[in-house]
Amino acid sequence: GYLGTLLAKRIAQEQEVESITGIDVKEPSFTHPKFTFIRHDVRQSFDSIFTENKIDTALHLAFIVVPIHDEKKSHEINIQGSKNFLEASAKAKVEQVYYMGSHTEYGAFPHNPALFTEDMPLNPNPDYPYPGDKAQVDLMFQEFGKQNPDICITIGRTVAVTGPCGDACGLKELFLPVMVRAAGKNPLWQFIHEDDLAEIIVRLLQQRKAGIYNFSAEGGLTYNEMIKKMGKPSISLPSWLLYQGVKISWKLQLQTKSQPGGLHMLEYPINISSQKIKEATGYKLRYTGEEAFGVFLKNRRT
């Protein structure tokens, strides 16, 4: 996938890395002398892949980000795939596992704090399967860490990833001929540039940093500011009407952009503190949130 390819390219640059093994159902465009691709469905056990390739650091990135109508398949990939990953990690006795979580796990609700810190409870919106699955797997990794104290467990909860990634970014789902706003709502959105994300993860792996870390650049944009930068016309609708419209159109498979629960992010902000990751790695991000979004827009327009 997009993030897996991004990280494989970045990790391959490190001299101390001997080999990289990628697992997916679709062959990537990325090639490198250190890189070996194995076609495999994560819903099936891959214990032997880890042991035979002597994996010492395992990154779990396989997840359905853009919603699909086959929710059973999505759940199997997200949940069973994660269970298989952890089982393979335990049997191969890897030294470190990394899980790519999401800021959406904290949930979009009216009384959210100004900034979520890593010690705050996960509270995904119950009508939004993606963060629900993300949170379930997050907790699985935390429990795995308790049962396997010799393995370094690292969890990153990231905001929207941007950069010159074109339609690979989940943000492409925002682009409609006419943008829709929830009446009276204008939440702040945070972003992180793909280069900064990759660099942070590499540092966490190199330094064998255990723990949970929020990933976000400084600043951000309100939803109305995003619409203005996109140069799109927009309409404002009551939240209840917007929700019912998306709910019906999703159920009838008239659209593939969003499940109804995703609309909560147009109402309430899920903003996270990145203080912990700054202190842990000492890395200074190259892009602000607004700059990262600008790079994404520039590349989409070209």
Label residue 191 by pLDDT band (50, 70, 90).
very high
Measured CA to CA, the distance from residue 159 to residue 43 in angstroms comes to: 26
**Three-class secondary structure of residue 136 per DSSP:** helix
Q: What is the average pLDDT score of the chain?
A: 91
88, pLDDT greater than 80 = yes
> What is the DSSP annotation of 82-105?
HHHHHHHHHHHT-SEEEEEEEGGG
pLDDT tens track for 120-162: 999 999 988 899 999 999 999 999 999 999 999 999 999 999 8
Share of the chain above pLDDT 90, in %: 72
Question: Which residues are bridge partners to 156 per DSSP?
Answer: 100, 213
When pLDDT is averaged across residues 231-259 and rounded to a whole number, the result is 83
What sections of the chain are H helices per DSSP? Answer: 2-11, 47-52, 71-75, 81-92, 129-147, 194-206, 223-230, 239-251, 275-281, 289-301
pLDDT tens track for 15-47: 999 999 999 999 988 899 999 999 999 999 999
How much is the pTM? 0.93
Query: Residue 255 has which token pair?
Result: 């659209």
168, pLDDT greater than 60 = no
- In angstroms, the Cα distances linking 233 to 48, 108, 188, 204 are 53, 25, 19, 42
